[in-house]
Structure 1
């Protein structure tokens, strides 16, 4: 009995037994049943005092969880007992024991012995426990489990059950559980596993939660960046990111055996993919995620009005208010909503001394679109010009004001009057370069929109005098595909080829008919008769061919028109339409300056035209960064500052030195010239070499003396 007790309570014995059971389950069945009986006895004793710490009980639980897949019939009730123990006594259990119980359940779930919908409700209840490590491990398991379940194919049945459960948890008053469920939803959305409209609208409802932390997390989701609290965990690829060096690439392809090369190449591929993912996220800055999330809102008008009413009543921090302003502006701009009181609310923050005023101005720009009445935006524009753009303001404030006015005019040009535009255009000769460049940018915008609003000297060469700003609410619906006329009237390559072939055939016929005129005088009559007969036949054939060609062309034209009307277009047709649009835009721009299509400048401006076509989209959808509105003046550096920047740039480049210094510090053998100097030669050869050096030196001195 003493030996059995020693086996029971020794952890090393449990570890050895676990390894033996995994190798031969049937052979060590008796030892497992002995430990299982001891677990049942220890459990009954533990339930008498659940708050007591029991390390032996935790070791037994982990042992049985690790080998439960080997004895499924004997461990049927094991997982249910663990779940009941956590449900009843989770709040009073010791922290170490509670984490051991959760790890055992996670291990059983990874073995596939329990369903996710059975375990998830218990795990979300455990989010209420005041144990940060426990909440972190549970969150990581939930995200990994859902990602693993949807890796090969999308499990809609499981997703629907878990989503319904999470939706109910997000609306609860318990802050910890609601926050963690919201984190799971946002993580699943960013991993594009749950990227449907229901997930987005549940997060939208979380914006109006009682807890300010949950409100901020939901607002950050719609702004496109994750919550940076300690509760939000990032992927392993982002936290433990490695970089691939040239040495790693060389080792992966040049060093080692075939199997080791394959492993190193696979690791290198993973690192490169992770780097691309991170770089794409930094370049994108979450714009695509926020844009798609805002597009999936069921009732954007109601969401914007509710959030604006909460913004009016809230007493939260200034950062939270800024988040609310930005989210409202994005929703208004993307869906082109009308919340007219919102602009007067923003107007009271339009002052140069306001903290983070560029954030407010970016929100104002994003909330401006062509359906907002100009009389609503007129007071806002007037206050912006009075406070920011005047001779007493600082250059930084003037640049911010001019940039904001320009961006607002891009979205709603009707707010600008000719008198105000001419006043702002006078800043093009301001002494500060940033102010003058911002004013010239505003002038360049109205050279395209409405040149007649500018002074004659500011309109530029080749300005279109007929261009005017459309009236409020003017809308010209398109009857078909945009740019289909360009594709219909574009010259095809087949027409050019057929013209060239016909020209070549006519020239060949003339060459063949040329030498026939040089025949004898006796056969001239017969030849003329035959030639006349042949010409009649040819005329008849040509007439019939011309008729058939005309009929074929008419039929082809009818078929083409039917195709255009039916909307049968391929991807090549759309690419062709884009190319024709780009070429027409370049022709229009270059014709103002008298340049032709075959000029060098025409080809150089094709890329600029493509950028302009990309920018000609719905401008209210664009996200405006507050950093783009700021103006930072660059002062000339002193000699010491320049020297410091040069030395800072040399850090990490010690190996890149001059060739002479590398030769001096060379650690290898001697060069051929050095070997030649140390080469053994007979005495006569050394004497002759010395004489030749002396003779050469004498000749050099004489030549130098003669030149002098």
Structure 2
């Protein structure tokens, strides 16, 4: 006979088993031994469902939901029973492998659930990580977008777990060396697998392996020279998509070529947004549009709508930028510096650029030119054919010509022969800096020549520099300021090339050197010469450091240096002017005599407004007497018409 208490406990267990798997999971976590029978029942039920899936891969949606729920439950509770966990792992691996059921016919939800089960068992060290990774790369043959996205995230998670140093408990100090060794071995195997998949014939496998390595490098999981060189080989891959992602990894996004103005203008934006931003950020764009749609259309409301749109969009962009990691898409100077043989890399890339196909897109060609220029400028390489190759693209009507001019300036460095740079500067001057071109083209050309001379000052000739400096007399402000910037550069680099009146005043140091006594010993002269050279080296080093800080990309010029225009200042609004006035008011000293008395400082008109009617009545009568006869006739006629109840025109 079963007692009443035993019967009630058994009834509660059956309720837990039949209905709520999440409640059973909580009970298992507290006491695994007591609920071993219930776990075995669910496990046997899952085995039967897997056999049914092998015979019939396409199931009803209700049965698929039960399989997904059981798979999640068993993957979370199997670590409490190691024997069952190993059996579960082998069953799921067999199900997903090619020897099991037809994986292509399984549903997307079911495939993802089985893969999640495999990941959880691998994280609990109940499955071999190498087997799991090879299985995932085999599963990429399925045309399932969600599954491929999940596999990429799982690979990144594996890399993170292999490289992350976890804190151990007090009793786990003895296990620390062993766990570190296991993590290192898993990391090495995973790296070798991903390197092998980069050269795989299947495009999807190579693409996923490349994305995993890029993400691992950017997030500082694997940041070494091996990863950078493996990704450098992807630049020469047969698939264009893999080429583009590899080149963008080294170059960064196009925003990085422009200066980081967010940090400079953040305080200004906060001051300008002020109360408007705090009011309108709470409302969504949909609410603002709906409110405008159902209201009367006026100019003021339309203007307010446009302002609200701008505030909401800028707030959304700022939130997105805050969510992103800071170094996600920055130019990878560290990766460019880590290339083993940059000269052979650039030669291979330039040979592919020269032997390009006719149907190749211009955007891909532009990325190849940019990467060539960046590597040449960073490593100061000798690829002389690259400069003559750029001549065909340096034209004002060329698409994205400012970027090509930027790449030409980035590829110039002091080790390039001066005749090659002179030829490049002549091409820029003939096509851009001439009277037949627009002022914008002349400005861009002068800025480009200035950046080229900054990288290679030995290529400057007296004739060219003086011809370019003559544009300072142009009436256009952008052209004259660009010419002045070129003059200021040569005042510091080599003032002898400038005209005498453009050299500016000599510095005090040169005057003192001219007034030095000539009757000194040779030893003193040698010591002073040594000091002078050391001072010059220090000053040049300081200038280089300041240039690196201004330019970024390791001292290479930016796109803003080429497209630098001096536009008109934006007029302040009334609110901005009032805020500026209020900022200057606190602590301001009042000059002159203070205004005392109730009627001091008022005009006669203001005083007349406060006077009673009896005081002003006589003055108004006198004003009426001074009117002409015609005015009095008109006013009388209007008075009579109003008395009759007629309208007055």
- Closer, same or farther in 2 for the Cα pair 1:406/1:619, shift >3 Å? farther
- Which ranges in structure 2 are unaligned for 5 or more consecutive residues? 1-9, 167-179, 257-269, 271-319, 511-526, 587-649
Q: Partner residue of 1:193?
A: 221
Instruction: Say whether 1:52 aligns with 2:59.
Output: yes
Determine if contact 1:220/1:226 at 8 Å carries over to the other structure.
no
Q: Distance in 2 between matches of 1:330 and 1:94?
A: 47
| Aligned with 1:417 (options 461, 482, 498) | 461
Q: Distance in 2 between matches of 1:209 and 1:28?
A: 55
Instruction: Say whether 1:615 aligns with 2:547.
Output: yes
Q: Partner residue of 2:86?
A: 76
Q: Distance in 2 between matches of 1:443 and 1:633?
A: 17
Q: Distance in 2 between matches of 1:125 and 1:98?
A: 13
| Aligned with 1:105 (options 107, 115, 118) | 118
Q: What secondary structure, in the 3-state scheme, does the structure 2 residue paired with 1:77 have?
A: helix
Q: Partner residue of 1:496?
A: none
Determine if contact 2:552/2:558 at 8 Å carries over to the other structure.
no
Q: What secondary structure, in the 3-state scheme, does the structure 2 residue paired with 1:393 have?
A: coil
| Aligned with 2:108 (options 95, 103, 110) | 95
Determine if contact 1:582/1:613 at 8 Å carries over to the other structure.
no
| Aligned with 1:293 (options 314, 329, 335) | 335
| Aligned with 1:448 (options 492, 509, 530) | 492
Q: Partner residue of 1:306?
A: 348
Q: Give the C-alpha shift of residue 166 in structure 1.
A: 0.3
Q: Distance in 2 between matches of 1:372 and 1:103?
A: 56
Q: Partner residue of 2:560?
A: 627
- Closer, same or farther in 2 for the Cα pair 1:167/1:96, shift >3 Å? same
Q: Partner residue of 1:64?
A: 74
Please list the CA deviations of residues 560-615 of structure 1 after superposition, one character each: whole Å capped at 9, or x if unmatched.
xxxxxxxxxxxxxxxxx9xx9699759xxxxxxxxxxxxxxxxxxxxxx9566543
Please list the CA deviations of residues 478-514 of structure 1 after superposition, one character each: whole Å capped at 9, or x if unmatched.
xxxxxxx99x999xxxxxxxxxxxxxxxxxxxxxxxx
Structure 2 counterparts to residues 534-613 of structure 1, below 5 A: 585=539, 613=545
Kindly name which structure, 1 or 2, has the bigger radius of gyration based on alpha carbons: 1
Q: Partner residue of 1:507?
A: none
Q: Partner residue of 1:135?
A: 148
Determine if contact 1:411/1:619 at 8 Å carries over to the other structure.
no
C-alpha RMSD over aligned residues: 3.9
Instruction: Say whether 1:208 aligns with 2:236.
Output: yes
TM-score by length of 1: 0.60
Q: Give the C-alpha shift of residue 22 in structure 1.
A: 1.9
Structure 2 counterparts to residues 679-698 of structure 1, below 5 A: none
Task: Name the count of aligned residue pairs.
Answer: 470
Q: Give the C-alpha shift of residue 71 in structure 1.
A: 1.1
Q: Distance in 2 between matches of 1:619 and 1:80?
A: 53
Q: What secondary structure, in the 3-state scheme, does the structure 2 residue paired with 1:76 have?
A: helix
Q: Partner residue of 1:434?
A: 478
Q: Give the C-alpha shift of residue 454 in structure 1.
A: 1.6
TM-score by length of 2: 0.65
Determine if contact 2:377/2:556 at 8 Å carries over to the other structure.
no
| Aligned with 2:389 (options 345, 364, 386) | 345
- Closer, same or farther in 2 for the Cα pair 1:616/1:61, shift >3 Å? closer
Q: Give the C-alpha shift of residue 10 in structure 1.
A: 8.1
Q: Give the C-alpha shift of residue 8 in structure 1.
A: 11
Determine if contact 1:451/1:459 at 8 Å carries over to the other structure.
yes
Determine if contact 2:413/2:455 at 8 Å carries over to the other structure.
yes
- Closer, same or farther in 2 for the Cα pair 1:420/1:223, shift >3 Å? same
Determine if contact 2:548/2:555 at 8 Å carries over to the other structure.
no
Q: Give the C-alpha shift of residue 322 in structure 1.
A: 1.3
- Which ranges in structure 1 are unaligned for 5 or more consecutive residues? 229-242, 244-273, 467-484, 491-576, 587-608, 660-708
Q: What secondary structure, in the 3-state scheme, does the structure 2 residue paired with 1:166 have?
A: helix
| Aligned with 1:36 (options 43, 47, 57) | 43
Determine if contact 2:16/2:24 at 8 Å carries over to the other structure.
no
Q: Give the C-alpha shift of residue 620 in structure 1.
A: 9.7
Q: Distance in 1 between matches of 2:255 and 2:51?
A: 44
- Closer, same or farther in 2 for the Cα pair 1:61/1:9, shift >3 Å? farther
Please list the CA deviations of residues 357-394 of structure 1 after superposition, one character each: whole Å capped at 9, or x if unmatched.
11101110111112212222333211110111112221
Q: Distance in 2 between matches of 1:333 and 1:380?
A: 16
Q: Give the C-alpha shift of residue 80 in structure 1.
A: 1.4
Q: Distance in 2 between matches of 1:616 and 1:109?
A: 47
Please list the CA deviations of residues 397-446 of structure 1 after superposition, one character each: whole Å capped at 9, or x if unmatched.
11111111111112222322111111111111221222112212212222
Q: Give the C-alpha shift of residue 294 in structure 1.
A: 0.9
Q: What secondary structure, in the 3-state scheme, does the structure 2 residue paired with 1:353 have?
A: coil
- Closer, same or farther in 2 for the Cα pair 1:465/1:455, shift >3 Å? farther
Q: Give the C-alpha shift of residue 347 in structure 1.
A: 0.7
Structure 2 counterparts to residues 2-13 of structure 1, below 5 A: 12-13=19-20
